[in-house]
Amino acid sequence: MTGLYNGDFLLTWQHDVETLRAVLDTAEALEDLARGGVSCKVFETGLGLSIFRDHSTRTRYAFRSGCNLLGLMTEELDESTSQIAHGETVRETATMVGFLTEVVGIRDDIFLGEGDRYQREVAAALAESHREGVLMQRPAVINLQSDLDHPTQSLADLAHLVSVFGGLEKLKGKKLAMSWAYSPSYGKPLSVPQGIITLMTRFGMEVVLAHPPGYGLVEETVEKARRFAGESGGSFTVADSMAEAFEGADVVYPKSWAPALVMLERTRLLRAGEKDKLKDLEREALATNAKFKDWECNEAMMRATKNGAAHYVHCLPADVTDVSCAAGEVSQAVFEKARLDTYREASHKPFIIAALILLTRFADPTEVVNRLAKEARPRRVS
């Protein structure tokens, strides 16, 4: 029993380690069943609703796939064709789309200080309407990326590391470098690095966060990473260069993000509708970025890692030098070598999402999985 039943999954640090293990175990069990051609359908009918307030391909399809695997029909709330623009409140809309909905997946990662708040608002509205008997069930809210965390990504990354190293216990003492990397873009969310440092420190990993001056993360998440490292017997340190962070690393996660202060200022300017100042901010931010073009994960940089052969991981899409841009997060040689592994990393996400649905919607998810395995209905006629 994980405490997830009839609840939400917004931030990994709101849940204990046992719960996170249960997510991994359930995801693995579902993936095994699916690969074995066994149906994982647990819903006859029901909706899986997604709300994407930012672009998405892989998380959108992971959500749709995860829902479909369990038998839910997916729908996407398109805020441009709905009446939300007509002055509707979040509270009301959440209920209106929740009558036969089992799960609501939300991506809201653009505005720092907003995304998580919005997700909690939706969850509170659904909880109220369920408590008052308006909704016959309490749809779970699943965070598909907020300003604070990107749990379906970090848990998929964790599942990948478990697979790479042969077990969750094997992660103890392994060094992971979560490093800022250069990208010719601006405004990338902080949720991935924040999600990684707060999750990987819970399993005894030696996590090093590296970034140029001024590119710090939201302080709350750094504090949590420090505390979790202490509790799990791992470590958490901050380094000033990618090279330092990579030293002896088993895993490297080089990725661009925007400084938290830039993101906060951007939120303020967007709200105020100050277009000229937004352009100034973008220009300045790109100029600052450009000072750190040497934060590229290339073969020279990789040589410093454990046996020169650290596992490169990334949430995708990566900004690959000479492929998607002139200078980016990773060189073509390093990326191409790891490419199929990054696909494997991503392949866990539909099952992580399906696991979160099972754990939030069923009182005894283990029993449900066991029954699926026992009945072994084929996923398609054979």
* Least Å from the CB of residue 206 to a copy of itself: 29
Counting Cβ atoms within 10 Å, is residue 278 exposed (0-12), middle (13-18) or buried (19+)? middle
Q: Which residue, 205, 241, 201, 204, is CA-closest to 221?
A: 201
Counting Cβ atoms within 10 Å, is residue 214 exposed (0-12), middle (13-18) or buried (19+)? exposed
Rg (CA), the chain: 21
Give the count of beta carbons closer than 10 Å to the beta carbon of residue 135: 20
Tokens (6 digits) for 113 = 């200080």
Residue placing its CB nearer to a copy of itself in the complex, 43 or 165: 43
- The three-state secondary structure class of 287 is helix
Residue placing its CB nearer to a copy of itself in the complex, 197 or 359: 359
DSSP string, 250-270: SEEEEE----HHHHHHHHHHH
Residue placing its CB nearer to a copy of itself in the complex, 74 or 241: 74
Q: Which residue, 193, 295, 313, is CA-closest to 249?
A: 313
Residue placing its CB nearer to a copy of itself in the complex, 57 or 307: 57
Residue placing its CB nearer to a copy of itself in the complex, 279 or 343: 343
Look-up: residue for tokens 């925007």? 258
* Least Å from the CB of residue 168 to a copy of itself: 22
- The three-state secondary structure class of 180 is strand
* Least Å from the CB of residue 307 to a copy of itself: 23
* Least Å from the CB of residue 373 to a copy of itself: 13
Residue placing its CB nearer to a copy of itself in the complex, 249 or 315: 315
* Least Å from the CB of residue 101 to a copy of itself: 8
- The three-state secondary structure class of 306 is helix
* Least Å from the CB of residue 237 to a copy of itself: 31
